[in-house]
Structures are given as C-alpha cells and as structure tokens.
Amino acid sequence: MKPLILFALLAPASFAITSTLVAHADPATPRTAPPLAAPSMEAKASPNTAHAPNTAAAPKAAAATRKGKGSAQAPMVPAKNDAEAEHDHEGMPEHAHDADESNATPFGLKESNTDYFWRRSDQAFHDGDYDRAVANHKAIVALDPSDTESFGVATWLLWSMGKKDEANAHLQRGLKLNPQSADMWDTAAQQYDLEKRLPEARDAYVNALKFTPAGENTMMLRRRLAHAAEKAGDKTLALQTWRDLVKEFPNDPVNRNNLTREEKAQTVVASIGNFIKPLRLEIGAALAGIRARLGLA
C-alpha cells in the first residue's frame, strides 16, 4: 500500500515537471529575446561628401547619439516598421507617447520618450536615413526644448545634406528657445565656425562665455573663442584671450604656445606696416608730382 500511496502523491508533480521541460524544448515556443546591444557610435561621417566637414570639425561631428546614452548593455525597444517611422516628425503626431507612457524593453525595463527618439535617431543615422534621423531629433526638441545637443546634431545633419536654410532656421529656433544657455550658444558658435561664418562664431562664443555659470572651467571655450576671433580678424580679442588664459593657467603649454604664436604674428604684421607706411607716403607724393606736371592736379 505504501508504494501505491507514494506514487499517487508524486505523479502530479512529475507530470508538471515533464510538461514544462517539453514546452521549453519545443522550437515553436516563443522565448524572451536577449537584450539587443545599442548601436555603437563612431565619429559622425557626413551624409553628403560634397558638403562633408573636415576632421577639424570633430567636436561638431560628434556621435548622433546622446552623450552618455546608447550603452552597449542598454536594452532596446523593438524597432517600429517604416509606416510607423513616417510619423516621427516635429509636432509629435497622433500616436506620440504621453510623458507617463515610457516605452517597455523586451525585459520590461523602460526608457524615457526622449531617450527612445535618441536611440531611433542613432539607428536612422547608421542606416543612412538622415532625414529620418533629423525627424527624430525634431521630436526630441518638441518634447524637451532645452536639449541643446539635439538641436546641434540636427543642424549639423541638415547642413551636411546641403539644406543650409533649414539648418540655420533650426539653429535659430534653438537659440530663441534657449537664449541664455551657454551650451546652446557654444553649439551655434561651433556650427558657425564650421560654416566659416567667422564674425558670427566669435560673437556666439562671447555669448557662451557670458552665460556660463560662475565657477565653471571655461578654458576650452575660451580657446575656441581665441581661435575664432583670430580667424575673424579680431586680433586684439584673440591676443587678450590668450594672455588671460596664460595668466590663469600658467603651466598649460597649449595656451602659452598659442600666445607666443599670436604675439609673433602681430609683431610681424606691425613690422610690415611700419615698413610699408613710409613707402605709401613716398609713392603718394610721387604720384601727386606727376599729376601736377600733367596738369591733372
């Protein structure tokens, strides 16, 4: 009797375990997919080589993904199909996500709406679909107008595709929405620098410094300002900026080397001017004498 009673007790549990093993062995049984690795970001290559910025624009040609986002371990939301992607435009279309509707990943983790669009813009960039990448960035700033990095990436992409008017309009929108943001002015300055709009770049760097919170290290920003001022022909501002940097960071060789270079350049220019000035006076007097003899005075 005891074996029969023991069998009766163990039979249901044995059947449940066997059923579970069979179900998991069945290839048709759907399984939870492992987390997808977020696409790695390399230095941004220009969508249109005819308009490609050179390597000197590396800070501007930063990755199309957000800084600190896209970790190799980050779970991703399954990509939407092309029909759904068409709705990712500025103004957030009818099936835009509400602020409290975060997007679930395969393991139930969540990401914010802006992170979702950052990831999609990154994927679109790597797919070569730059218009879709821009559309996702416009969705980002519709959700978060203070995202100055997104304004910068979209502006760079539009400019690289030859859409210069649209790029400038988008950049100006960012400045209008963030008029006292040091990051936004720095972003604009670097874009102007890239486009060789040198006086505008200089002025934008000045504004970036103006709105930088007190106590922050502005050495790199001031270096960009000094270079922009020099290229814009504002030698006085360039020289003064390098002098201030050397005074504040006396052990930094980059600042000191640039100050030495700028001082030498201005010394050469002054020497040439001092040499040419008397010649100009002599030539002017000679021409006046010739005109007088010819009766043209």
State what percent of residues in the chain have pLDDT above 70.
Answer: 57
The residues spanned by each domain of the chain are 37-178, 210-297
Go through the chain and tell me how many residues it has.
297
The Cα 18–Cα 142 span in angstroms is: 54
Phi and psi at 104, nearest 5°, equal: -80, 140
Q: What is the pLDDT of residues 2-29, one digit of tens each?
A: 444 444 444 444 444 344 433 333 333 3
Q: Can you tell me the mean pLDDT for 138-152?
A: 97
Specify the CATH architecture of the domain 37-178. Alpha Horseshoe (1.25)
Write down the residue that tokens 């279309």 correspond to: 93
Burial 87-108 (b: 16+ CB within 10 A, else e): ebebebeeebeeeeebbebeee
Amino acid letter for position 61: A
pLDDT of residue 295: 73
Tokens of 275: 């040499």
The fold of the 210-297 domain, in CATH, is 1.25.40
pLDDT of residue 270: 56
pLDDT of residue 16: 44
The Cα 148–Cα 177 span in angstroms is: 10
pLDDT of residue 275: 54
Tokens of 214: 């007190």
Beta carbons within 8 Å of 126's beta carbon, 6+ residues apart: 39
Are 37-178 and 210-297 equal in CATH topology? yes
Beta carbons within 8 Å of 156's beta carbon, 6+ residues apart: 44, 60, 61, 167, 191, 194
The tally of CA atoms less than 13 A away on the side-chain side of residue 72 is 1
**In the predicted structure, residue 54 carries a pLDDT above the cut 90:** no
